[in-house]
Amino acid sequence: MSAIRIGIIGGGYAGLTAAYELQKRGYAVTVFEKYGTWGGQAATLPLLGTRIEFFYHHLFGSDAHILGLMDELGIGDQLRWIESKVGFFYDGQIYDFVTPLDLLRFKPLNLVNRIKLGFMYLYLQRVNDWQRLERVTARDWILRYMGQEIYDKVWGPLLRGKFGDWADQVSMTWLWGKIKVRGTSRRGAVAKETLAYPQGSFEIITQALVDRLRLGGADLRLNQGAIGLTTDPADPCRVTGVVTRRETIPFDVVIATVPGDAFLEIAPPSLDDSYAALLRTVRYQAAVVLLLVSQRSLSRIYWMNIADRTMPFVGVIEHTNYVPPSEYQGRHLIYVSNYLERDDPRFHMTADRLFDLYAPHLKRINPAFEPGWIEKKIVLRAEAGQPVITCNYSQRIPDHRTPLKGLYLANTLQIYPEDRGTNYSVRLGQTISRIVAQDLTREA
């Protein structure tokens, strides 16, 4: 093993993959994770004799990086491809929203607009030149090419649900990324969509990475957040170590895989102002998810987009309409999802308060719904749930090499033009490890 020590801040998929790749190259790695579980936003919790993600998760057919990693870790055969059931809740009704045929049956739109919406999907799935799309907001593109009705009844409510006050600024490239990826999950334009789920939850991927790291001698530290970085007294622009509440540990290289604002909290004052300013320009929407363990199913849909802005949530993801309830002791697992600003009161509510707020609206989805069905409620929060990607973002992506020597950044702000996801965090981990290894070889 090389004498070079690399400290990695953040034990999500970017951090664990970077550690795994660098360990393979012979470097000594230490991973610091501030919470008590590995996996970051893809972490899981024990429930009903198995494990389940804090936040609903699945993989797409185009997720080549994470699928490749699973093969390499020897768990590629532990994926199940399952037909997804996507729905759209509008004006008190659930509409299927998977195939072009479903779109043709989407009555809230007039027939011409249903056809137009279908073409929008087919067209965007074939577009590769996203650069053209990043100059325009999703709102302007939809209004120009699809018209007011499609914006008002479909995309407007969805964009507002996900991005709140920032919805009108979201770039068309972001929406393209979402639609493009879905096209890869079906075999042919009219086919159903299949999504992948690891047998035993995403924990099997996280655990396989952690096991490999342990086997290679990695120093893995849970519940040890970085609270600062040290610099060389003779050269304040060289990072020399990581500070935790317990100790200061010297490193030759430090890689931060934490969100932009968390990075700025630990960065030394010598960090260049323009780099810091770049990180401050990108906002995140927070995510708050209420996980319900229910005796009965709420609907027949796996992924239900809520296009009704009088409802206090944006999505209902009934995991057990994807993976059967028999795998969860017969219980139904329902995530009620929201993206919002961190200062939104819902982000801070207890599970009981959120449930009281949501329950009357769950009844609008299924009039038979009764609060008595719910055996357990768990609230889960992510401060940096979704970066808000605005126009011409390609020109504002922070560099992986920070202006400080020995300090690198690999986080979801650097995923583009695709939307963030575990696949792209694996790619980030692979990319950053290549960059660091190149720099170390050059310096040697």
Ligand X SMILES: Cc1cc2nc3c(=O)[nH]c(=O)nc-3n(C[C@H](O)[C@H](O)[C@H](O)COP(=O)(O)OP(=O)(O)OC[C@H]3O[C@@H](n4cnc5c(N)ncnc54)[C@H](O)[C@@H]3O)c2cc1C
Residues near ligand X (CB under 6 A): 9-15, 32-35, 40-42, 55-59, 225-226, 257-258, 262, 266, 287, 289, 337, 382, 385, 411-412, 420-423, 425
- Rounded Cα–Cα distance for residues 236 and 234 (Å): 6
List Cβ neighbours of 151 (8 Å cut-off, separation of 6 or more). Answer: 139, 142, 143
Min CB(331)–ligand X separation in Å: 21
Question: Whose Cβ is closer to ligand X: residue 55's or residue 176's?
Answer: 55
Question: Whose Cβ is closer to ligand X: residue 65's or residue 331's?
Answer: 65
- Rounded Cα–Cα distance for residues 64 and 69 (Å): 8
Question: What is residue 290's three-state secondary structure?
Answer: strand
Min CB(367)–ligand X separation in Å: 27
Q: What is the token pair recorded at 253? A: 């290289």
List Cβ neighbours of 395 (8 Å cut-off, separation of 6 or more). Answer: none
Min CB(180)–ligand X separation in Å: 15
- Rounded Cα–Cα distance for residues 46 and 67 (Å): 24
At 305, give phi and psi (nearest 5°): -80, 135
- The structure tokens 């980030």 sit at 428
The count of C-alpha atoms lying within 13 angstroms of the C-alpha of 430, restricted to the half-sphere facing its C-beta, is: 12
Question: Whose Cβ is closer to ligand X: residue 173's or residue 412's?
Answer: 412
Min CB(425)–ligand X separation in Å: 4
Task: Residue 67: count other Cβ atoms within 10 Å of its Cβ.
Answer: 18
Alpha-carbon separation of residue 347 from 251, 304, 319, 382 (angstroms): 36, 21, 22, 9
The count of C-alpha atoms lying within 13 angstroms of the C-alpha of 280, restricted to the half-sphere facing its C-beta, is: 8
- The structure tokens 């137009």 sit at 116
DSSP result, 368-380 = T--GGGEEEEEEE
CA–chain centroid gap for 197, Å, is 15
Question: Whose Cβ is closer to ligand X: residue 10's or residue 87's?
Answer: 10
Give the residue closest to ligand X by C-beta. Answer: 40
- Rounded Cα–Cα distance for residues 362 and 360 (Å): 6
Using an 8 Å Cβ cutoff, are 285 and 337 in contact?
no
Question: Whose Cβ is closer to ligand X: residue 141's or residue 328's?
Answer: 328
Min CB(24)–ligand X separation in Å: 18
Min CB(26)–ligand X separation in Å: 23
Question: Whose Cβ is closer to ligand X: residue 185's or residue 240's?
Answer: 185
Min CB(148)–ligand X separation in Å: 30
Min CB(437)–ligand X separation in Å: 19
Question: Whose Cβ is closer to ligand X: residue 117's or residue 167's?
Answer: 167
Using an 8 Å Cβ cutoff, are 109 and 155 in contact?
no
Question: What is residue 375's three-state secondary structure?
Answer: strand
Min CB(203)–ligand X separation in Å: 13
Question: Whose Cβ is closer to ligand X: residue 298's or residue 380's?
Answer: 380
Min CB(18)–ligand X separation in Å: 9
Question: Whose Cβ is closer to ligand X: residue 146's or residue 266's?
Answer: 266
Question: Whose Cβ is closer to ligand X: residue 39's or residue 157's?
Answer: 39
